[in-house]
Chain A
Amino acid sequence: MSEELTGAPTFLDKFPQEAAVVRAALWSSFIALTLGAVFGIIQALHRTDILRVIDSTDYYTVLTAHGVLMVISFTIFFLVGAFTWAIVRSFDRNVEDIRYTWTWYGMMVTGTLMAVVAILGGFVDSIDLSADVLYTFYAPLQGHPLFYGGLAIFLIGTWLAGADWFRSWRAWKAENPDERIPLQAFMVLTTMLMWYIASIGITIAVVGFLLPWSLGIIEQVNPLLTRTLFWFWGHPVVYFWLMPAYLLWYTVLPTVAGGRLFSDPLGRVVFVLFLLLSTPVGIHHQYVDPGIASGFKLIAMTNTMFLLLPSLLTAFTVVASVEHAARQRGGTGLLGWLRALPWRDPAFTGMMLAGLMFAAGGFSGMINAGMNINYLIHNTLWVPGHFHLTVGTAVALTMMAATYWLWPQLSNRRLFSRPIGLAQVVIWFVGMALMSNAMHIQGLFGIPRRTAEPQYQGFDFATTFGSVTELNMQLAVGGTLLFISTVLFVGNIALSTGTPKLSGLGEELTEPLSAAHDSPEILDNLKLWFGIAFVLVILAYMLPLASIISRGGVFGPGVDPVPVIAEPIRVGIQPLVASVEPTVSRVIAVVGSVVQ
């Protein structure tokens, strides 16, 4: 990337009002990231028993806050900022009504604050406010109505944001009837269609059941039903986090690398595939749930495996684009071209490291998707190990790295420090490599996720290599590095607001090698893809949901709410003997679950 000022106008020069919204959304995102990181390091040190600054019962308040702030607030605020930028930039027109744009942003902020207040109330015993229900809020654990209400308002905010972008599309199309949808806008619109379909599940769960239930309007819910509706949304939401990263890999990374995107048509195909396949797979989170027939699980498994396809295609296109860039820069040889890339640029290096880690995350995800091998790792620490590679690195690190490129376009100010930025992305990569590796291995030993103290009285975990203590150290060191990296990132952006304003910082995105007109026009038929996606979801979910309801009823087979507002029930279960068992015998797979 050249250091001379190109003199091109920035996004801020062209669209000052929209740039303000994007900056606000990004700041909301980074504040959530900072808080999430504080809770993250508390957890990393607590569960490894290195430093316990809170009670173990409060661990679950911390865990709920970490999960919600990171995967709802951090990622989705970044998404709405990046998507607003992408829509306005690629249509090259203002939003239709900036007051409307601020309205949906305001709703998202309000919703977040409501949910966060409900969650943090868990720290204060004297008030009846709590939502220690974790990010998944499985009933019959019951949080405060403020939590569910906040979630609902936040969701409505995201829908209105999507409507804003569809409005821009309609207005643009009226003026450009014969043009192909610009690639970035295409990616935004297909992602939002996926989001609307996915939202059906969580809307029914929250508005139809959990909110009225928490208010006492309905007495019981069917826990399997609300759980299934959660995962109806819960899997596509991971692609909702991922799609902004993909958009940045397809459209910003080639430019930052000094080249051009290999293929625009392939990018469109990939986003259409995500629209079609993201939702009818949620049951793969419920492989070991009772009450769901194994046939439905098999179908979900098959669909899930096909979801690998768009990501594998993306790997090809991104690497091809980067190689093209390297050769443009004079790189040669089978792999020697790698040396010609701008590794000193934190935006480039960050996105490349994020992509590399996504490959690792993809492989551990294939294990999760493997229905029968999933028995071994279900709800163990392996699972957070996996998603800290995907959402925790592929998404989070790409968002941070892209900010290093995007921020000057939004503020007309240079980044405070590129070397600190470079160190930051490398520290994140190293920290996550350590933490995630330790989590994966601990998961293989059966160490559970979501627990304050994975240290038990009656038994030890059998380790096949390394020791639990070593792995705990690795996890804690990794978590600490990630915290440091977050501080460096947010500090760098905060200090950038104090650098002098410059003009001419603008950088244009390069055009793809193979342009949109190489692809069939049917790809741009959003109604068609939305229709097919909708039918696929109905096919995938109609029978399982009907079966759950016919078995257990809409409001459950008789299950009372268990509010987490009250102090948890403490049952005295002092172990008789805290014996230290020889562990070797447990490694032998004496137990195999079989037939019935």
Chain B
Amino acid sequence: MNIHNYEKIWLVLAMVMIIGFISTVVYGATAVGIEMISDEPDTIDSTALDEDDRFSEPRVEKVGDNEYEAYVIAQQFIFRPDPITVPANSTVTFYVTSPDVIHGFEVVGTNANTMVIPGEVSQLTVEFNEPGEYGILCNEYCGGGHHTMEGKLIVQPEDEFEQGGNDE
């Protein structure tokens, strides 16, 4: 097969570029430590969230020094709890699930973004450094009221954060 020289050069450059892209993504996933949403934890019966310790009462819970877990329900057309309140300088692991249809959980203006699928629990760990307020929105169509589905995330200064003030 006759391949023109320019074509060969182009082919090599194309391969270099592709391998370059793959390398940057792998670098981000390993060295920088940006983990993908994964298959942890196990599935859940979405028709019986009330019977699950984590989701019967959606909340933020302290689990260690500056470490928190947030159990969040995304449902037609609200997030629970709302607002979600966490302290600054903390690491928060979100567990998000849905009792009805597929939703999105996006902390606006950040890269905290996951699909929420009934029967599955999305787990993502986020570091909060400074106090502030963020919008949360659903970014997957979930029914006629989809555009009204929003919530709020408040990152409080550490000294103002009160444990237990997060219940609905």
Contacts and interface: CB of A to CB of B under 8 A. Distances in A.
A527 interface: no
B38 interface: yes
Interface size for chain B: under 10, 10 to 19, 20 to 34, or 35 or more residues? 35 or more
Interface stretch (B10-18, B53-61, B157-165): B10-18
B42 to A, nearest CB: 7
> Chain A binding site: helix, strand, loop or mixed by DSSP?
loop
A593 B132 contact: no
Contact of A564 (B6, B143, B152): B143
Contact of A459 (B7, B117, B134): B134
Contacts of A519: 1
Contacts of B24: 370
Given A289-B37, A378-B113, A590-B110, A514 B2 contact: yes
B43 interface: yes
Contacts of B39: 290-293, 547, 551
Contact of B135 (A301, A450, A459): A459
A319 B9 CA distance: 15
A569 B143 contact: yes
A513 B147 CA distance: 55
Interface residues of A, number: 100
A245 B93 CA distance: 46
Given A448-B104, A591-B107, A596-B35, A552 B43 contact: yes
Contacts of B137: 446, 448, 456
B63 interface: no
Contacts of A514: 2
Contact of B36 (A297, A456, A518): A297
B64 interface: no
B130 A290 contact: no
A558 B152 contact: no
B100 A57 contact: no
A457 B137 CA distance: 11
A8 interface: no
A288 B101 contact: no
Given A379-B140, A558-B47, A594-B127, A298 B146 contact: no
Nearest to B40: A596
Given A132-B144, A316-B10, A595 B35 contact: yes
Interface string B103-146: 01011111111111111111111111110111101111111111
A559 B119 CA distance: 6
Nearest to B28: A372
A445 interface: yes
B155 interface: yes
A591 B14 contact: no
Contacts of B100: 140, 560, 562
B127 A592 contact: yes
A457 B115 CA distance: 22
A86 B43 CA distance: 49
A420 interface: no
A290 B46 CA distance: 14
Given A551-B39, A569-B143, A594 B10 contact: no
A305 B21 CA distance: 7
A138 B76 contact: no
Contact of B141 (A305, A450, A558): A450
A380 B139 CA distance: 7
Given A372-B34, A568-B144, A581-B133, A379 B25 contact: no
A294 B42 CA distance: 15
Interface in A58-116: 59-60, 63
B1 A520 contact: yes
A449 interface: yes
B15 A567 contact: no
A265 interface: yes
B50 interface: no
A141 interface: yes
A280 B121 CA distance: 25
Contacts of A560: 46-47, 100
Contacts of B155: 590
Nearest to B121: A290
B115 A446 contact: no
A591 to B, nearest CB: 4
A571 B149 CA distance: 10
Q: Which of A141, A459, A556 has most B Cβ within 10 Å? A: A459
B152 A458 contact: yes
Given A379-B106, A451-B146, A223 B134 contact: no
A451 B147 contact: yes
Given A288-B37, A290-B117, A459-B135, A309 B14 contact: yes
A586 B134 contact: yes
Contacts of B147: 56, 59, 451-454
B143 A562 contact: yes
Interface string A368-388: 011111011011100000000
Contacts of B139: 378-380, 448-451
Nearest to B47: A558
28 contacts: A57-B145, A138-B102, A224-B117, A265-B1, A288-B114, A290-B114, A291-B43, A292-B39, A293-B38, A294-B29, A294-B35, A294-B37, A298-B29, A306-B18, A308-B21, A372-B32, A446-B109, A446-B137, A449-B139, A451-B141, A451-B147, A457-B150, A520-B1, A568-B144, A573-B78, A592-B111, A594-B127, A596-B123
Interface of A: 56-57, 59-60, 63, 132, 134, 138, 140-141, 222-224, 227, 262-263, 265-266, 286-294, 297-298, 301-302, 305-306, 308-309, 312-313, 316, 320, 366, 369-373, 375-376, 378-380, 445-446, 448-454, 456-462, 514, 518-520, 547, 551-552, 556-560, 562, 564, 567-571, 573, 575, 581, 585-596
Across the A-B interface, the 7 shortest Cβ-Cβ residue pairs? A568-B144, A459-B135, A558-B45, A591-B110, A57-B144, A379-B139, A294-B36
